[in-house]
C-alpha cells in the first residue's frame, strides 16, 4: 500500500502542476488581416478590463511583455493581449503586391 501511495503522489503533483502551468501560460492565436497577412498574438488573464500591448521596433510580444514579467503581472487583474507586428515574432511579413 505504501508503494502505491509513493507512485500516485508524484503523479498527482505533476497533474496539478500541469493544470496550474496551463492557467498561467499565455495562449497563442492568429488572425488574418484584410490583405491576407497572419498576425500572431498572445493572451493571458480572464478578468478585468482589456489591456493591449504592442511592442517596439525589432521586438516581439514574447520578449517585450512576457519574458520580463510585465504581462503576467498585468494579467492578475486584467485581460492581456499582446500582438506581434507584421514581420516580427511569429507574424507573417507584409503581403506582396498582387497583380490584377
Q: What is the pLDDT of residue 23?
A: 61
- Kindly list the distances between the CA atom of residue 95 and the CA atoms of 28, 39, 74, in Å, as whole numbers in the listed order: 22, 12, 33
Per-residue pLDDT in tens (0 to 9) along the chain, 100 residues: 444 444 454 444 444 443 344 468 999 999 999 999 999 999 999 999 999 999 988 899 999 999 999 999 999 999 999 999 999 999 998 766 544 4
**DSSP SS3 for 30:** strand
Q: Does the model's pTM come out above 0.85?
A: no
Q: What is the pLDDT of residue 43?
A: 97
Amino acid at each position: 500500500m505504501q508503494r502505491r501511495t509513493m507512485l500516485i503522489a508524484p503523479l498527482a503533483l505533476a497533474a496539478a502542476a500541469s493544470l496550474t502551468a496551463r492557467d498561467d501560460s499565455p495562449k497563442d492565436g492568429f488572425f488574418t488581416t484584410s490583405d491576407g497577412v497572419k498576425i500572431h498574438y498572445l493572451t493571458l488573464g480572464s478578468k478585468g478590463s482589456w489591456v493591449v500591448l504592442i511592442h517596439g521596433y525589432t521586438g516581439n510580444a514574447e520578449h517585450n511583455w512576457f519574458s520580463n514579467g510585465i504581462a503576467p503581472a498585468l494579467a492578475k487583474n486584467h485581460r492581456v493581449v499582446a500582438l506581434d507586428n507584421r514581420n516580427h515574432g511569429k507574424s507573417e511579413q507584409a503581403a506582396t503586391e498582387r497583380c490584377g
